[in-house]
Structure 1
Amino acid sequence: MTTSLPADGLFVGLISGTSADGIDAALVRFGADVSDTGCRLVHGVVVPWDPALRARLVALGQGGDARGLDELGTLDAQVGEAFAAATQVLLAEAGVDATGVVAVGSHGQTVRHRPAGAASDGVHPFSWQIGDANIIAERCGITTVADFRRRDVAAGGQGAPLVPAFHAAMLHSDAEDRAVLNLGGIGNFTLLPRSGDVRGFDTGPANALLDAWCLRHRGEAFDRDGMFAATGRVDDALLARLRSDPWFALPPPKSSGREQFHLDWVEARLEGAATPADVQATLLELSAATIADALHAHQPTTTRLLTCGGGVRNSQLIARIAARLPGCIVEPTDVHGLDADFVEAMAFAWLARQTLAGLPGNVAAVTGARGPRVLGAIYPA
């Protein structure tokens, strides 16, 4: 059952992705009719994590163990407080009072992603995002929708990627076969044929390995514009070993995270005396190659690739992706009215709107769920 939404539809979307390089917060205005695909970014901010908290979250996301229930509970509250603070910064900068916002859609911070096929016990898949939504609703005085992934997992899906429904609503064209590529820590595709079903899946590492290797060897959280990678040369033998991981050959639906692709995974495949810069160049080529491989395999008719996410600002990565996709136009979603830096945060604002309207937020053909589902839990203001 659908419900009516306020005519002036302001929503906040919050996400911290696989790279945990900051909390993306987007203030989005939608039309009053839920069938209206109008969507405008009013304001966006990226709020950095406290360095110590980020280091702990990244360690957990890469498969590290928590020290106990007390630590997990504390982290859940800390992340909730950080997301609430990011919302307050966003609204203050935008000059918008909390009373004018319909809802916050919060993705949370993923600390473990074990969907079907990757469950630790082989029987009970799950996806776990922390960031207590009670705290967001309480601190901000705004109804908050969170915990989007687990209903899809309960319905037999991967719980990811969830942005394809938003991409389809905003970026589909009847004139050409398109794909949307989100370059977060993990890359993911939404395939938008001019006619036919929407599909989507993770491609493997986009920024996560690049960021982690850069942090280790340069002390910098990310490789700005790919300049570290540009000082190295691709090690073809190492690239072949990395690309040979069986995960890349798995058919969709599939999803991944730092549990699969982390620095231990890289180091297990290192041989010889490759320099740190050469490894960085090779990791960048791995991202480009596996992205191009996936598009060639699953929608070779694509004529336009729309890019979004933090990796859009890495000109070296974009150039290598374009070089492997001759004949395909590669351009950011900005060209089509969606700010490439905030598409994913905007998507979670949209997902909150879907939930409040009683409408599904997943695409079953993408996640592998048994059907469309209304996602998330609602925490009233």
Structure 2
Amino acid sequence: MTGPGLTRAIGVISGTSMDGIDVALIASDGEAQVETGPAATFPYPPDVAARLRAVVADASEAERPQAALERAVTDAHVAAVDAFFARFAIARDSVALVGLHGQTILHRPGRVGWEGRRPAAPGARDAHPPKAGLTRQLCDGARAAGALGIDVVCDFRSADVAAAGEGAPLAPVYHAAMAAGRERPLMILNWGGVGNVTWLGRAGEIVAFDTGPANALIDDILLSRRGVAFDAGGALAASGRADAAILAALMRDRYFDRPPPKSLDRNHFAAAAAAVEALGDADAAATLAAFTVEATVAALARVPEAPKRWLVGGGGRLNAFLMSRLADRLGVPVEPVEAIGFDGDAIEAQCFAYLALRARRGLPLSFPTTTGVPAPTTGGVFWPAPR
């Protein structure tokens, strides 16, 4: 792989589910041309994953400096990239750049509670602009670049948040590149720990936002009650019955009343776990699965036109129960992104390789209709490898 004008880059991310470190290789110009290469997921060292879960569960702790944990997270990501090179026999000097997202431990966008208003037009003044929020991804870019011997781009979200954007989602510009030439309107859904959608319009419009819970709530319940990481295929949820009263109460969360752009911290819906505490395992899983589906369906009220097709990435696409329930509710095709030739486990890692290339070219990573930032905004911090 590597056509004329394309640069090889590796992307690395561990999502909010913290179930592993995803690594993927692409070749791209950072615009319309994308060639995908191999991808793989590598486990976190168990002690690092446990420390991360403890910090993520305590927002006050997540706000404090985490130097030792950041070093451990960075080293785990470097080890994953080294293992990736070895597994696929990739020459290190054939890769120009690594986009290293790091591990999100806190995401608190400043736009929350901003009365649901659209951002002002670029250049316009707003009497009551939103305040900048706080987003924290653990990643030591200098340490990673030194260990890998490859230039690194990290800290992708801070520039957007500093400009009063949501800081998420950042995948929409990559989704648009993936879907070049496809019939629109089209929706690309990522069901990771949190769900997010990218709506692609007929005239090239992009609207994106977080939909609500995806796998995180169900995963947490299964881990705490049964000691397993996830509900394989949705089998447990399929065997239970969703509690209609609890589901209705969960869907009254004010987040669903907000128009996009909007994004979520992984723990925003933590009360859902308490709501299903009295339910048996199967009914709790069924209720949280129904919540994931209904939160996703609610996205239709926030896009200009109903999409003709949904393409799904992330671990949720492997949950047959969630996929069938969503298709039933939408009445249009709901397919894994493999239907258009992409690896649904690799998209987010590919995305950060792509965004790293865009960042080096000074191209925007986020837009008013994706994060609510006032104008198209680039981002990322560049750390050159020692020469």
TM-score (norm. length: structure 2): 0.90
Tell me the residue number matched to 1:222. Answer: 230
**Pairing partner for 1:164 from 172, 191, 208:** 172
Tell me the residue number matched to 2:207. Answer: 199
Deviation per CA, 1:81-122: give whole Å up to 9, x if none.
011111111111111121110100011111111111349xx9
Q: CA deviation at 1:237?
A: 1.1
Q: Does 1:375 align with 2:375?
A: no
8 A Cα contact 2:207 2:303, kept in partner: no
For residues 73-92 of structure 1, the aligned pairs below 5 Å read 73-92=67-86
Give the whole-Å Cα distance in 1 for the aligned partners of 2:256 and 2:53: 23
Q: Does 1:321 align with 2:316?
A: no
SS in 2 for 1:165: helix
Give the whole-Å Cα distance in 1 for the aligned partners of 2:177 and 2:297: 24
SS in 1 for 2:173: helix
Deviation per CA, 1:186-244: give whole Å up to 9, x if none.
00000001125210000010011011011011101111111221221111111111111
8 A Cα contact 1:155 1:371, kept in partner: no
The size of the alignment, in residue pairs, is: 367
8 A Cα contact 1:14 1:108, kept in partner: yes
Q: Does 1:210 align with 2:218?
A: yes
**Fraction of identical pairs, as percent:** 40
Change in 2 beyond 3 A, CA 1:117/1:361: closer
Tell me the residue number matched to 1:47. Answer: 42
Tell me the residue number matched to 1:149. Answer: 157
SS in 2 for 1:256: coil
Give the whole-Å Cα distance in 2 for the aligned partners of 1:252 and 1:201: 6
Give the whole-Å Cα distance in 2 for the aligned partners of 1:170 and 1:124: 31
Change in 2 beyond 3 A, CA 1:68/1:62: closer
Q: Does 1:266 align with 2:254?
A: no
**Pairing partner for 2:105 from 105, 108, 111:** 111
**Pairing partner for 2:189 from 178, 181, 190:** 181
Tell me the residue number matched to 2:96. Answer: 102
Tell me the residue number matched to 1:58. Answer: 53
Calculate the aligned-residue CA RMSD, in Å.
2.1
Deviation per CA, 1:159-206: give whole Å up to 9, x if none.
000000111122144642101001110000000011252100000100
Change in 2 beyond 3 A, CA 1:13/1:68: closer
SS in 2 for 1:312: helix
Unaligned runs of 5+ in 1: none
TM-score (norm. length: structure 1): 0.91
Give the whole-Å Cα distance in 1 for the aligned partners of 2:4 and 2:69: 34
8 A Cα contact 1:112 1:259, kept in partner: no
8 A Cα contact 2:185 2:305, kept in partner: no
After TM superposition, where is structure 1 displaced by more than 6 Å over at least 4 residues in a row? Answer: none
Change in 2 beyond 3 A, CA 1:152/1:67: closer
Q: CA deviation at 1:123?
A: 5.0
Deviation per CA, 1:346-372: give whole Å up to 9, x if none.
000000000111211112221010111
Give the whole-Å Cα distance in 2 for the aligned partners of 1:269 and 1:57: 24
AA in 1 matched with 2:69: L
